[in-house]
């Protein structure tokens, strides 16, 4: 089980303390679904055994 930090699934949307589920527009106008959730998560691909792994990381 990978527990996501709170900042990976809620984002501030104003200066009044309002937070929303982590789907929000970006300054560039270009977004990647899951980008917020994937921050600081390392992904390892084991193509030989057909497995994928996730771990907290500081990347």
Rounded CA-CA distance 33/31 in Å is 6
Asked whether the beta carbons of 39 and 57 are under 8 A apart, the reply is no
Rounded CA-CA distance 26/20 in Å is 14
Asked whether the beta carbons of 21 and 9 are under 8 A apart, the reply is yes
Query: Interior CA angle at 32 toward 46 and 54, to 5°?
Result: 30
Residues 1-44 have pLDDT tens digits of 778 888 888 888 899 999 988 766 678 877 676 777 788 888 89
pLDDT score at 49: 97
pLDDT score at 11: 84
């Amino acid at each position: 089980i990978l527990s996501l930090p709170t900042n990976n699934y809620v984002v501030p949307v104003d200066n009044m303390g309002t937070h929303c589920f982590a789907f929000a527009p970006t300054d560039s106008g270009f977004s990647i679904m899951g980008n917020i959730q994937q921050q600081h998560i390392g992904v390892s691909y084991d193509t030989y055994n057909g497995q994928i792994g996730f771990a907290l990381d500081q990347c």
